Copies of this chain bind each other. A is one copy, B any other.
Amino acid sequence: MNGARALITTLVDNGVQVCFANPGTSEMHFVAALDTVPQMRGVLTLFEGVATGAADGYARISGGPAAVLLHLGPGLGNGLANLHNARRAVVPLVVVVGDHATYHKKYDAPLESDIDSVAGTVSGWLRRSLEVTDVAADAAEAIASARIHRHISTLILPADVSWDEGAAPLESAALQTDLAAVDASRAEAALRSGEPTVIMVGGDATDSAGLSAAVRLTQVSGARVLCETFPTRLERGAGVPAVERLAYFAEAATTQLAGARHLVLAGAPHPVSFFAYPGKASDLVPDDCAVHTLAGPVGAGAALAGLADRMAPTETAATAELARPALPSGPLNVSTSADVIGALLPERAIVVDEANTSGVLLPQSTAGAPAHDWLTLTGGAIGYALPVSIGAAIAAPDRPVLCLESDGSAMYTISALWTQAREHLDITTVVYANRAYDILRIELQRVGAEAAGERPGPKAESLLDLTGPTLDFVRIAKGMGVPARRVGTAEELADALQWAFGEPGPHLIEAVMPSIAG
């Protein structure tokens, strides 16, 4: 068989059964081979950033990798921002980048570019298959490496390696895990010290089991628990231990960490400011606070469980009660919109959150909703929610997906709506239409630009403003095959959510909101 067919067969034999694709000529043998491998599902996206984001969402929910098929360097470039987010999410992902035939590269044809350098910036594993007899082994190793290290494996596949005959699929690659053994002694000493201690959970410790372990430890030690600011997948809601997330704004995060003498990192990174600001510290840890790393993002849940079993063997973690807000009425704003979501969030929902400033009150309003998963913008590259929703919905077809999206962010990957429609995915998208890059209006003040004498004038304001013309998301969504409504009150949002949740397939609700930055 040819390289393409061996590759696809190896993917499915190793449990990779979905491929998010935006192919071109150099990937035509891969495309042609798809029908020979019935277990592989090909999902077309109209832009590569949708494909990479979808694979991120798929991995966050299924736990395993999807494949992504990209066309040469420009296709990889288009997919890079959501690969960046996936890298920060610490999820497994197998990226196949088609390239020119090995003998064609020297001609510097128009689409020739340095794929390896670009791929290297996001990939934990990177290889170029140079012989058709290598393809299956390379693919198996890519998958194994992605699964073990929860990173992006990128396989660059030259067209001739794809079309040449002589390949055979490979069932699996045995890779040694080289995860560091956990040394819990410093964390344990901190928790036994009686001094103010914060356990910060992140990585794979943000599921119910990891959170329970952390909360059990707080119950025997008096420590507090916080969650990293942007968890990959946070379990929360009724029946799940409740944790507060570290705030995005450094000022608030500093308050949350104030007084701590020990910080135990269980899967979370060392807390730093998202951006630097003139005259403000980047490192958010108090000066006299010792930092103890219990575990990195992979294995953090197990490390916490082990520690909890030793220190708190008989404890049962407190969990959140079922307590929804009442359905509010009146104009939509950050408060009423959040309460509507909290009141109506379906059982077992997957929430993909890119609401940004419009979502500031969502954590409180949804804390007592039925148990759900909350996905966040791990890498800060906006335009992640619409694509990630696709992958989440494909990984969990029996669960409702609620995509909370800002208007500005939506426009980076808006064609995701078309793929949602084509695949009949049960995704409800709420676009918070405040007609501005509202977060940047706040950041413009925070970075001290005004204080520096550069009072923003009309040109600066124009670059943060999304009116003139106003984006009509109802038309845009319908133009891509997604039924849509516009709402301006809490009652209308509630009605629209019930409509969207009540019908299969994707729906979009444009929620017209005031800007919070003014």
Q: Which A residues are within 8 Å of any B CB, using their own CB?
A: 2, 4-5, 21, 23-26, 28-29, 31-36, 40, 42, 44, 46-47, 49, 73-75, 77-81, 83-85, 88, 100-101, 103-104, 107-111, 113-114, 117-118, 120-122, 159-160, 163, 165, 230, 269-270, 272-276, 278, 282-283, 378-381, 383, 408, 411-412, 414-415, 418, 421-422, 439-440, 443-444, 446-450, 452, 454-460, 462-466, 468-476, 478-481
Contact = CB atoms under 8 A, between A and B. Distances in A.
A286 B96 CA distance: 35
Contact of A469 (B40, B463, B471, B481): B481
Contacts of A44: 462-463, 465
Contacts of A2: 452, 454
Given A28-B447, A117-B121, A414-B415, A479 B471 contact: yes
Contacts of A278: 160, 163
Given A77-B77, A118-B118, A443-B28, A459 B42 contact: yes
A443 B40 CA distance: 22
Contacts of A46: 408, 411-412, 466
A360 to B, nearest CB: 17
Nearest to A101: B276
Given A109-B380, A475-B478, 6 more contacts: A47-B412, A78-B80, A80-B80, A109-B282, A110-B378, A159-B275
B463 A31 contact: yes
A32 B29 CA distance: 50
Instruction: Across the A-B interface, give the 9 residue pairs with the lowest CB-CB distance, nearest first.
Output: A469-B481, A35-B457, A77-B80, A475-B479, A74-B381, A32-B449, A101-B276, A476-B479, A104-B276
B25 A74 contact: no
Nearest to A47: B412
Contacts of A464: 31
A107 B276 CA distance: 10
A305 to B, nearest CB: 27
27 contacts: A5-B454, A25-B439, A25-B447, A28-B440, A29-B447, A29-B452, A32-B449, A32-B452, A32-B456, A34-B459, A34-B463, A35-B459, A47-B411, A74-B85, A74-B381, A77-B77, A77-B83, A77-B84, A104-B273, A108-B269, A110-B274, A111-B379, A163-B447, A165-B452, A475-B476, A476-B476, A479-B479
